């Protein structure tokens, strides 16, 4: 009964209940020819909350978020917790796409007030992605995939905002994926030693420093560097940095 359909921590509908409700909402939208929005919402930097303060506090944050989200939606809407720090909302009978942005703003405003848990004050922000029926898909799968793509796009650009799906995003995403796999292929050409040199190089160290760190001569590092540039097909250090970032590798000295 209730337990199978609701998330124990927040008492919001769970993933399977959400999908059932979304199927119902799509059927209603087909009949009424109305606009339907599907929003996916992630809490920003939630992993670091768990790591810094422990899972118990992380759970308390999620519970508070559930309570804050509930009053944000209209009675026709449905908000659920899909798992982890991922929430979702079905926005029915929208007049226009702007309606989804207004809903996202309401949710962000609900988060803006600091949470006080165990005498600790925490401010939690969230990033959202939205896809619409009928223009972005007619099935649960398509709508969720496209909302997820919009969410990923928002996270990469600037957290704490809401991005609406557009077909261009799929194109950008495909291009980024192609760049990433090309960059990973280039990285795979490097020997283990060259990989070490590359990591220290992109962290902003000069040849002399690298030679000192790896206990070798400057000339050896220069040879490594030339081979790395050649294998990575980079004409400059800036281009080398870009390829490493494309591969999804965070330069060790610049992490954060």
User: 159 and 85 in contact (C-beta within 8 Å)?
Assistant: no
pLDDT at residue 253 in the model: 42
Among 240, 140, 142, residue whose Cα is nearest residue 197: 240
User: 205 and 253 in contact (C-beta within 8 Å)?
Assistant: yes
User: 18 and 88 in contact (C-beta within 8 Å)?
Assistant: yes
Verify cis geometry, omega within 30 degrees of 0, for the bond prior to 224. no
pLDDT at residue 59 in the model: 92
pLDDT at residue 256 in the model: 33
Q: Check residue 78 and give left, alpha or beta (phi > 0: left; psi -120 to 50: alpha).
A: beta
pLDDT at residue 202 in the model: 78
pLDDT at residue 50 in the model: 84
pLDDT at residue 220 in the model: 87
Q: What is the DSSP string of 183-233?
A: HHHHHHTS-HHHHHHHHHHHTT--HHHHHHHHTS-HHHHHHHHHHHHHHTT
Does this model's pTM top 0.95? My answer is no
What are the per-10-residue average pLDDT scores of the chain (256 residues)?
A: 82 92 95 93 88 88 89 78 93 89 86 86 90 93 93 84 86 81 91 88 78 84 90 87 79 41
8-state DSSP, 71: G
Non-local CB neighbours of 81 within 8 Å, separated by 6+ positions: 7, 9, 10, 12, 13, 14, 62, 66, 87, 88
Tens of pLDDT, residues 209-239? 888 788 888 888 888 889 999 999 998 888 8
């Amino acid at each position: 009964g209730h337990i199978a359909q609701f998330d124990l921590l927040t008492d919001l509908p769970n993933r399977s209940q959400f999908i059932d409700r979304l199927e119902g909402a799509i059927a209603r939208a087909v009949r009424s020819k109305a606009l339907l929005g599907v929003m996916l919402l992630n809490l920003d930097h939630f992993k670091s909350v768990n790591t810094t303060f422990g899972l118990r506090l992380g759970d308390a944050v999620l519970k508070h978020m559930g309570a804050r989200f509930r009053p944000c939606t209209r009675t026709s809407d449905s908000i659920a917790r899909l798992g982890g720090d991922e929430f979702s909302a079905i926005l029915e009978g929208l007049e226009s796409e702007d309606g989804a942005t207004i809903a996202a703003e309401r949710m962000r405003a609900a988060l803006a007030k600091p949470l006080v848990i165990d005498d600790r004050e925490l401010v939690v922000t969230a990033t959202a992605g939205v896809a619409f029926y009928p223009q972005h898909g007619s099935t649960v799968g398509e709508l969720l995939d496209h909302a997820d793509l919009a969410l990923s796009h928002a996270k990469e650009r600037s957290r704490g905002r809401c991005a609406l799906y557009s077909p261009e995003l799929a194109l950008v995403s495909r291009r980024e994926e192609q760049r990433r796999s090309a960059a990973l292929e280039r990285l795979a050409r490097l020997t283990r030693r060259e990989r070490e040199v590359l990591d220290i190089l992109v962290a902003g160290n000069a040849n002399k420093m690298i030679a000192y760190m790896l206990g070798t001569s400057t000339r050896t590092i220069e040879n490594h560097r030339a081979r790395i540039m050649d294998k990575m097909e980079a004409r400059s250090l800036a281009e080398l940095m870009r390829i490493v970032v494309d591969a999804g590798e965070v330069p060790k000295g610049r992490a954060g």
